[in-house]
Structure 1
Protein backbone atom coordinates (compact mmCIF):
# COMPACT_ATOMS: atom_id res chain seq x y z
CA UNK A 1 0.00 0.00 0.00
CA UNK A 2 1.44 3.23 -1.08
CA UNK A 3 0.76 6.39 0.88
CA UNK A 4 0.25 9.60 -1.02
CA UNK A 5 1.54 12.70 0.72
CA UNK A 6 0.41 16.02 -0.58
CA UNK A 7 2.60 18.93 0.19
CA UNK A 8 1.30 22.41 0.08
CA UNK A 9 3.34 24.75 -2.01
CA UNK A 10 5.41 27.19 0.03
CA UNK A 11 3.61 30.16 -1.50
CA UNK A 12 0.19 29.05 -0.30
CA UNK A 13 1.47 28.57 3.27
CA UNK A 14 3.09 32.01 3.21
CA UNK A 15 -0.05 33.47 1.67
CA UNK A 16 -2.20 32.05 4.44
CA UNK A 17 0.21 33.38 7.08
CA UNK A 18 0.24 36.84 5.52
CA UNK A 19 -3.54 36.86 5.22
CA UNK A 20 -3.89 35.90 8.90
CA UNK A 21 -1.41 38.62 9.92
CA UNK A 22 -3.28 41.19 7.80
CA UNK A 23 -6.62 40.25 9.38
CA UNK A 24 -5.11 40.51 12.88
CA UNK A 25 -3.74 43.97 12.10
CA UNK A 26 -7.06 45.02 10.61
CA UNK A 27 -8.95 43.86 13.72
CA UNK A 28 -6.45 45.68 15.96
CA UNK A 29 -6.89 48.86 13.91
CA UNK A 30 -10.66 48.64 14.17
CA UNK A 31 -10.43 48.29 17.94
CA UNK A 32 -8.23 51.39 18.09
CA UNK A 33 -10.70 53.29 15.91
CA UNK A 34 -13.80 52.28 17.84
CA UNK A 35 -15.92 55.24 19.02
CA UNK A 36 -14.98 55.04 22.70
CA UNK A 37 -11.22 54.62 22.44
CA UNK A 38 -9.89 58.13 22.88
CA UNK A 39 -10.50 61.24 24.87
CA UNK A 40 -10.38 63.25 21.65
CA UNK A 41 -13.15 61.20 20.01
CA UNK A 42 -15.43 61.55 23.03
CA UNK A 43 -14.95 65.32 23.23
CA UNK A 44 -15.44 65.64 19.49
CA UNK A 45 -18.80 63.85 19.84
CA UNK A 46 -19.82 66.45 22.43
CA UNK A 47 -19.35 64.16 25.42
CA UNK A 48 -17.57 65.24 28.57
CA UNK A 49 -15.38 62.33 29.67
CA UNK A 50 -13.81 62.31 33.13
CA UNK A 51 -10.35 63.82 33.15
CA UNK A 52 -7.82 61.02 33.61
CA UNK A 53 -5.21 61.11 36.35
CA UNK A 54 -7.16 63.52 38.54
CA UNK A 55 -5.73 62.10 41.77
CA UNK A 56 -2.11 62.00 40.54
CA UNK A 57 -0.04 64.28 42.80
CA UNK A 58 2.64 66.24 40.95
CA UNK A 59 5.42 68.20 42.65
CA UNK A 60 5.20 71.98 42.40
CA UNK A 61 7.90 73.66 40.34
CA UNK A 62 8.50 76.30 42.98
CA UNK A 63 8.09 75.60 46.64
CA UNK A 64 7.21 72.48 48.56
CA UNK A 65 4.16 70.32 48.11
CA UNK A 66 2.18 68.80 45.31
CA UNK A 67 -0.89 69.59 43.25
CA UNK A 68 -3.41 67.38 41.50
CA UNK A 69 -6.43 68.03 39.33
CA UNK A 70 -8.55 66.86 42.26
CA UNK A 71 -7.29 69.87 44.26
CA UNK A 72 -9.22 72.10 41.83
CA UNK A 73 -12.52 70.19 41.85
CA UNK A 74 -15.37 72.68 41.66
CA UNK A 75 -13.32 75.03 39.45
CA UNK A 76 -12.59 75.24 35.74
CA UNK A 77 -9.05 74.06 35.00
CA UNK A 78 -7.11 74.87 31.87
CA UNK A 79 -4.51 72.08 31.89
CA UNK A 80 -1.57 72.98 29.66
CA UNK A 81 1.37 70.65 28.98
CA UNK A 82 4.46 72.66 28.03
CA UNK A 83 8.26 72.83 28.13
CA UNK A 84 10.82 75.63 28.02
CA UNK A 85 12.33 74.22 24.81
CA UNK A 86 8.96 74.38 23.00
CA UNK A 87 8.70 77.53 20.82
CA UNK A 88 4.88 77.34 20.40
CA UNK A 89 4.62 77.05 24.20
CA UNK A 90 6.28 80.43 24.53
CA UNK A 91 3.99 81.96 21.91
CA UNK A 92 0.80 80.76 23.66
CA UNK A 93 1.94 81.59 27.22
CA UNK A 94 0.53 85.16 27.24
CA UNK A 95 -2.95 83.86 26.26
CA UNK A 96 -2.78 81.31 29.07
CA UNK A 97 -1.74 84.04 31.52
CA UNK A 98 -4.68 86.22 30.43
CA UNK A 99 -7.25 83.43 30.83
CA UNK A 100 -5.72 82.52 34.20
CA UNK A 101 -6.10 86.11 35.41
CA UNK A 102 -9.74 86.18 34.29
CA UNK A 103 -10.52 82.85 35.97
CA UNK A 104 -8.87 83.92 39.23
CA UNK A 105 -10.54 87.35 39.20
CA UNK A 106 -13.97 85.71 38.99
CA UNK A 107 -13.06 82.88 41.37
CA UNK A 108 -14.05 80.33 38.75
CA UNK A 109 -10.80 78.54 38.04
CA UNK A 110 -7.14 78.46 37.11
CA UNK A 111 -4.56 77.39 34.59
CA UNK A 112 -2.53 74.40 35.80
CA UNK A 113 0.60 73.79 33.75
CA UNK A 114 2.61 70.56 34.02
CA UNK A 115 6.09 70.83 32.53
CA UNK A 116 6.94 68.01 30.13
CA UNK A 117 10.45 66.52 30.02
CA UNK A 118 12.05 69.80 31.07
CA UNK A 119 14.92 70.60 33.42
CA UNK A 120 13.79 72.36 36.59
CA UNK A 121 16.11 75.34 36.11
CA UNK A 122 15.01 75.77 32.48
CA UNK A 123 11.35 75.68 33.55
CA UNK A 124 11.98 78.24 36.30
CA UNK A 125 13.72 80.62 33.87
CA UNK A 126 10.87 80.25 31.36
CA UNK A 127 8.22 81.05 33.99
CA UNK A 128 10.17 84.03 35.35
CA UNK A 129 11.01 85.47 31.91
CA UNK A 130 7.37 85.34 30.80
CA UNK A 131 5.95 86.50 34.14
CA UNK A 132 3.61 83.53 34.54
CA UNK A 133 1.62 83.41 37.76
CA UNK A 134 -0.45 80.27 37.30
CA UNK A 135 0.43 77.05 39.18
CA UNK A 136 3.23 75.08 37.55
CA UNK A 137 3.88 71.43 38.39
CA UNK A 138 6.45 68.93 37.18
CA UNK A 139 5.05 65.90 35.39
CA UNK A 140 7.78 63.55 36.57
CA UNK A 141 8.18 60.68 34.09
CA UNK A 142 5.29 62.23 32.08
CA UNK A 143 2.77 60.11 33.99
CA UNK A 144 -0.07 62.64 33.69
CA UNK A 145 0.75 63.46 30.06
CA UNK A 146 0.56 59.76 29.18
CA UNK A 147 -2.92 59.51 30.66
CA UNK A 148 -4.05 62.40 28.44
CA UNK A 149 -2.35 60.91 25.37
CA UNK A 150 0.07 63.83 25.19
CA UNK A 151 3.03 63.21 22.90
CA UNK A 152 3.67 66.60 21.30
CA UNK A 153 3.72 70.06 22.79
CA UNK A 154 1.92 72.18 23.57
CA UNK A 155 -1.37 70.48 24.44
CA UNK A 156 -4.25 72.03 26.38
CA UNK A 157 -7.30 70.42 28.01
CA UNK A 158 -10.15 72.48 29.46
CA UNK A 159 -11.82 70.72 32.39
CA UNK A 160 -15.17 71.71 33.89
CA UNK A 161 -15.90 72.03 37.66
CA UNK A 162 -17.08 68.39 37.76
CA UNK A 163 -13.70 67.18 36.48
CA UNK A 164 -14.80 66.44 32.90
CA UNK A 165 -12.88 67.34 29.74
CA UNK A 166 -14.78 69.91 27.67
CA UNK A 167 -12.24 70.91 25.02
CA UNK A 168 -8.85 69.82 23.69
CA UNK A 169 -6.20 71.71 21.75
CA UNK A 170 -3.42 69.46 20.50
CA UNK A 171 -1.08 72.18 19.37
CA UNK A 172 -0.61 75.87 20.03
CA UNK A 173 -3.72 77.48 21.50
CA UNK A 174 -4.93 81.07 21.40
CA UNK A 175 -7.26 83.54 23.12
CA UNK A 176 -10.27 82.58 21.02
CA UNK A 177 -10.04 78.84 21.77
CA UNK A 178 -9.43 79.49 25.47
CA UNK A 179 -12.34 81.95 25.87
CA UNK A 180 -14.77 79.65 24.08
CA UNK A 181 -13.66 76.50 25.89
CA UNK A 182 -13.70 78.18 29.32
CA UNK A 183 -17.18 79.57 28.63
CA UNK A 184 -18.43 76.07 27.68
CA UNK A 185 -16.83 74.69 30.85
CA UNK A 186 -18.76 77.17 33.00
CA UNK A 187 -16.00 79.67 33.64
CA UNK A 188 -17.59 82.72 32.06
CA UNK A 189 -15.59 85.14 29.88
Structure 2
Protein backbone atom coordinates (compact mmCIF):
# COMPACT_ATOMS: atom_id res chain seq x y z
CA UNK A 1 0.00 0.00 0.00
CA UNK A 2 2.90 2.37 0.65
CA UNK A 3 4.14 2.02 -2.93
CA UNK A 4 0.73 2.96 -4.31
CA UNK A 5 0.61 6.03 -2.06
CA UNK A 6 3.85 7.47 -3.47
CA UNK A 7 2.44 8.26 -6.95
CA UNK A 8 -0.68 9.76 -5.36
CA UNK A 9 1.42 11.94 -3.03
CA UNK A 10 3.67 13.02 -5.91
CA UNK A 11 0.59 13.89 -7.96
CA UNK A 12 -0.86 15.97 -5.11
CA UNK A 13 2.47 17.70 -4.60
CA UNK A 14 2.61 18.47 -8.34
CA UNK A 15 -0.92 19.91 -8.26
CA UNK A 16 -0.03 22.04 -5.24
CA UNK A 17 3.02 23.44 -7.04
CA UNK A 18 0.98 24.22 -10.17
CA UNK A 19 -1.68 25.95 -8.04
CA UNK A 20 1.02 27.99 -6.28
CA UNK A 21 2.53 29.01 -9.62
CA UNK A 22 -0.87 30.07 -10.99
CA UNK A 23 -1.56 32.08 -7.83
CA UNK A 24 1.83 33.81 -8.01
CA UNK A 25 1.32 34.76 -11.65
CA UNK A 26 -2.29 35.90 -11.26
CA UNK A 27 -1.97 38.08 -8.17
CA UNK A 28 -1.33 41.79 -8.64
CA UNK A 29 2.36 42.61 -8.67
CA UNK A 30 4.24 45.47 -7.09
CA UNK A 31 4.19 47.91 -9.94
CA UNK A 32 4.01 45.62 -12.98
CA UNK A 33 0.40 46.55 -13.83
CA UNK A 34 1.11 50.23 -13.35
CA UNK A 35 4.24 49.90 -15.46
CA UNK A 36 2.44 48.28 -18.40
CA UNK A 37 -0.35 50.84 -18.34
CA UNK A 38 1.86 53.88 -17.84
CA UNK A 39 4.39 52.79 -20.47
CA UNK A 40 1.72 52.06 -23.07
CA UNK A 41 -0.03 55.37 -22.53
CA UNK A 42 3.15 57.47 -22.68
CA UNK A 43 4.41 55.60 -25.75
CA UNK A 44 1.03 56.20 -27.43
CA UNK A 45 1.48 59.93 -26.86
CA UNK A 46 -1.37 60.20 -24.36
CA UNK A 47 -1.38 62.82 -21.63
CA UNK A 48 -0.50 60.94 -18.47
CA UNK A 49 -0.65 62.88 -15.19
CA UNK A 50 2.23 62.04 -12.87
CA UNK A 51 0.93 59.43 -10.39
CA UNK A 52 0.78 60.20 -6.68
CA UNK A 53 1.86 63.82 -7.15
CA UNK A 54 0.27 64.69 -3.80
CA UNK A 55 2.09 61.96 -1.84
CA UNK A 56 4.25 63.69 0.80
CA UNK A 57 7.61 61.98 1.20
CA UNK A 58 10.33 62.68 3.77
CA UNK A 59 13.24 64.71 2.44
CA UNK A 60 16.60 62.98 2.39
CA UNK A 61 19.06 64.75 4.68
CA UNK A 62 16.64 67.55 5.56
CA UNK A 63 13.59 68.05 7.71
CA UNK A 64 10.11 68.13 6.29
CA UNK A 65 8.41 66.51 3.37
CA UNK A 66 8.18 67.18 -0.34
CA UNK A 67 5.44 66.39 -2.83
CA UNK A 68 5.89 66.29 -6.57
CA UNK A 69 2.93 68.68 -6.72
CA UNK A 70 5.08 71.23 -4.84
CA UNK A 71 7.22 71.45 -7.98
CA UNK A 72 4.34 72.19 -10.36
CA UNK A 73 5.35 74.88 -12.84
CA UNK A 74 8.82 73.34 -13.18
CA UNK A 75 10.01 70.47 -15.34
CA UNK A 76 11.01 67.56 -13.10
CA UNK A 77 13.39 64.75 -13.92
CA UNK A 78 12.18 62.14 -11.42
CA UNK A 79 14.91 59.57 -10.84
CA UNK A 80 14.35 56.43 -8.75
CA UNK A 81 17.68 55.23 -7.33
CA UNK A 82 19.38 53.22 -4.61
CA UNK A 83 22.81 53.53 -3.00
CA UNK A 84 23.58 49.88 -3.74
CA UNK A 85 22.90 50.32 -7.48
CA UNK A 86 25.97 50.40 -9.76
CA UNK A 87 24.16 52.03 -12.75
CA UNK A 88 22.82 54.68 -10.33
CA UNK A 89 26.41 55.56 -9.45
CA UNK A 90 27.32 55.83 -13.14
CA UNK A 91 24.39 58.11 -14.02
CA UNK A 92 24.64 60.39 -10.95
CA UNK A 93 27.09 62.89 -12.55
CA UNK A 94 24.79 63.23 -15.60
CA UNK A 95 21.76 63.83 -13.37
CA UNK A 96 23.72 66.44 -11.39
CA UNK A 97 24.70 68.23 -14.64
CA UNK A 98 21.08 68.09 -15.75
CA UNK A 99 19.89 69.53 -12.45
CA UNK A 100 22.39 72.38 -12.60
CA UNK A 101 21.39 73.27 -16.18
CA UNK A 102 17.68 73.24 -15.36
CA UNK A 103 18.10 75.16 -12.10
CA UNK A 104 20.40 77.77 -13.68
CA UNK A 105 17.74 78.46 -16.33
CA UNK A 106 15.02 78.47 -13.67
CA UNK A 107 12.94 75.91 -15.56
CA UNK A 108 13.25 72.72 -13.54
CA UNK A 109 15.03 70.30 -11.27
CA UNK A 110 16.00 66.69 -10.81
CA UNK A 111 14.14 64.98 -7.96
CA UNK A 112 15.71 61.82 -6.61
CA UNK A 113 13.58 59.09 -5.02
CA UNK A 114 15.51 56.55 -2.97
CA UNK A 115 14.04 53.09 -3.23
CA UNK A 116 14.62 50.06 -1.00
CA UNK A 117 17.44 51.82 0.79
CA UNK A 118 18.29 53.00 4.28
CA UNK A 119 18.33 56.74 4.94
CA UNK A 120 21.96 56.51 6.10
CA UNK A 121 23.15 54.70 2.97
CA UNK A 122 21.14 57.00 0.70
CA UNK A 123 22.55 60.11 2.36
CA UNK A 124 26.12 58.79 2.12
CA UNK A 125 25.59 58.01 -1.58
CA UNK A 126 24.20 61.49 -2.27
CA UNK A 127 27.18 63.09 -0.51
CA UNK A 128 29.73 60.84 -2.25
CA UNK A 129 28.21 61.66 -5.64
CA UNK A 130 28.03 65.41 -4.96
CA UNK A 131 24.29 65.45 -5.56
CA UNK A 132 22.82 68.90 -4.95
CA UNK A 133 19.36 68.12 -6.29
CA UNK A 134 16.63 67.30 -3.78
CA UNK A 135 15.93 63.67 -2.95
CA UNK A 136 13.14 62.06 -0.97
CA UNK A 137 12.82 58.71 0.73
CA UNK A 138 10.09 56.34 -0.44
CA UNK A 139 9.24 54.12 2.55
CA UNK A 140 7.46 51.00 1.34
CA UNK A 141 8.24 51.92 -2.30
CA UNK A 142 4.73 53.28 -2.72
CA UNK A 143 5.68 56.11 -5.08
CA UNK A 144 8.00 53.86 -7.08
CA UNK A 145 5.21 51.30 -7.39
CA UNK A 146 2.82 53.98 -8.67
CA UNK A 147 5.27 54.56 -11.55
CA UNK A 148 5.77 50.84 -12.10
CA UNK A 149 9.41 51.22 -11.05
CA UNK A 150 10.37 47.66 -10.27
CA UNK A 151 14.10 48.18 -10.67
CA UNK A 152 16.59 50.98 -10.28
CA UNK A 153 17.49 53.26 -11.82
CA UNK A 154 14.39 54.49 -13.60
CA UNK A 155 13.86 58.05 -14.83
CA UNK A 156 10.67 59.97 -15.69
CA UNK A 157 10.54 63.42 -17.27
CA UNK A 158 7.51 65.38 -16.08
CA UNK A 159 6.53 68.66 -17.73
CA UNK A 160 5.62 71.88 -15.93
CA UNK A 161 1.93 70.90 -16.01
CA UNK A 162 2.65 67.66 -14.11
CA UNK A 163 2.43 65.23 -17.06
CA UNK A 164 4.84 62.42 -17.86
CA UNK A 165 6.50 63.12 -21.21
CA UNK A 166 9.05 60.30 -21.32
CA UNK A 167 10.59 57.52 -19.25
CA UNK A 168 13.82 55.54 -19.24
CA UNK A 169 13.72 52.20 -17.46
CA UNK A 170 17.36 51.54 -16.74
CA UNK A 171 20.49 53.67 -16.69
CA UNK A 172 19.69 56.97 -18.37
CA UNK A 173 21.74 58.74 -21.03
CA UNK A 174 22.39 62.26 -22.23
CA UNK A 175 20.56 61.49 -25.48
CA UNK A 176 17.43 60.38 -23.64
CA UNK A 177 17.48 63.37 -21.27
CA UNK A 178 17.95 65.95 -24.03
CA UNK A 179 15.19 64.38 -26.17
CA UNK A 180 12.80 64.01 -23.21
CA UNK A 181 13.44 67.53 -21.92
CA UNK A 182 12.66 68.92 -25.39
CA UNK A 183 9.34 67.02 -25.25
CA UNK A 184 8.72 68.80 -21.94
CA UNK A 185 9.35 72.12 -23.71
CA UNK A 186 12.67 72.95 -22.06
CA UNK A 187 14.54 75.55 -24.16
CA UNK A 188 17.73 74.34 -25.89
CA UNK A 189 19.82 76.72 -23.79
CA UNK A 190 18.67 74.92 -20.60
CA UNK A 191 19.50 71.39 -21.79
CA UNK A 192 22.44 69.58 -20.24
CA UNK A 193 25.62 69.70 -22.34
CA UNK A 194 26.72 66.60 -24.20
Do these two structures clear the TM 0.5 threshold for a shared fold by scoring above it? yes
Question: 1:129: Cα distance to partner?
Answer: 0.7
In the alignment, what sits opposite 2:120? 121
Query: Are 1:46 and 2:45 an aligned pair?
Result: yes
Normalised by the length of structure 2, the TM-score is 0.78
Task: Measure, in 2, the Cα distance between the counterparts of 1:48 and 1:83.
Answer: 29
1:132-143 to structure 2, matched below 5 A, reads 132-143=131-142
Task: Measure, in 1, the Cα distance between the counterparts of 2:44 and 2:113.
Answer: 27
1:21-170 to structure 2, matched below 5 A, reads 38-170=37-169
Task: Measure, in 2, the Cα distance between the counterparts of 1:187 and 1:102.
Answer: 11
Greater Cα offset, 37-46 or 115-124: 37-46
Q: What root-mean-square deviation, in Å, do the aligned CA atoms of Structure 1 and Structure 2 show?
A: 2.2
Normalised by the length of structure 1, the TM-score is 0.80
> Radius of gyration: which is bigger?
1
Q: Give the gaps of 5 or more residues in structure 2.
A: 1-24, 26-31
Q: Deviations over 1:74-126 (max 9, x none)?
A: 11000000000000000011111111001000100000001001011111111
Runs of 4+ with >6 A deviation:
none
Question: 1:165: Cα distance to partner?
Answer: 0.3
